[in-house]
Copies of this chain bind each other. A is one copy, B any other.
Amino acid sequence: MTNYEQFLSHAAGLMKESAIRQMGSVLSQSKDMISFAPGYPAEDQFPWIDFTDICRELLTGTDGSVLQYGPTRGFRPLRETTIDLMKARGITSTLENVLITTGSQQGLDLVGRVLIDPGDVVLMELPSYTGAISAFRNVGAAMVGVRQHEDGIDLDHLDDTYLQLVKQGRRVKMLYVVPNFQNPTGLLMGLSKRPAIVDWAERRDVLIVEDDPYRDLYFPDVSSEAETRPIAADDRYGRVIYLSSFSKTLAPAFRVAWISAPPAIAAKLEVAKQAGDLCTGGFDQRVVAEACRRGLLERHIPELRAHYQQKRDTMVRAIGQHMADQVTWTLPRGGFFLWVALSHQLRSRDVMPLAQARGVIYVDGSAFFVDGTGTEFMRLSFSAPSPSRIEEGVRRLAAAVTAAAAISPAPPVATP
Contacts and interface: CB of A to CB of B under 8 A. Distances in A.
A48 B61 contact: yes
A15 B24 CA distance: 34
A135 to B, nearest CB: 5
Contacts of A282: 252-253, 255
Interface residues of A, number: 90
Nearest to A120: B9
A131 interface: yes
A14 to B, nearest CB: 10
A262 interface: yes
Interface string A225-250: 00000000000011100000001000
Interface string A105-122: 110110001111100100
A350 to B, nearest CB: 25
Nearest to A266: B4
A205 to B, nearest CB: 8
A283 B254 contact: yes
A80 interface: no
Contacts of A67: 43, 46, 48, 51, 251-254
Interface string A284-312: 10100000000000000000000000000
Contacts of A60: 48, 52
B41 A277 contact: no
A263 to B, nearest CB: 9
A64 interface: yes
A87 interface: no
A196 interface: no
A180 interface: no
Interface string A124-142: 0000000100110111000
A1 to B, nearest CB: 8
Contact of A268 (B15, B252, B271): B15
B40 A61 contact: no
B131 A5 contact: no
A415 interface: no
A207 interface: yes
Nearest to A75: B253
A77 to B, nearest CB: 13
A238 B264 CA distance: 43
B262 A71 contact: no
Contacts of A272: 12, 15, 138
Interface in A71-106: 71-72, 102-103, 105-106
**A21, A40, A137 pick with most chain B CB within 10 angstroms:** A21
A28 interface: yes
Contact of A275 (B55, B56, B131): B131
Given A2-B237, A15-B268, A102-B102, 5 more contacts: A12-B113, A12-B268, A52-B56, A68-B253, A284-B284
A-B complex: 9 closest residue pairs judged by Cβ atoms: A43-B64, A253-B282, A134-B275, A48-B61, A67-B251, A4-B264, A55-B55, A67-B253, A52-B59
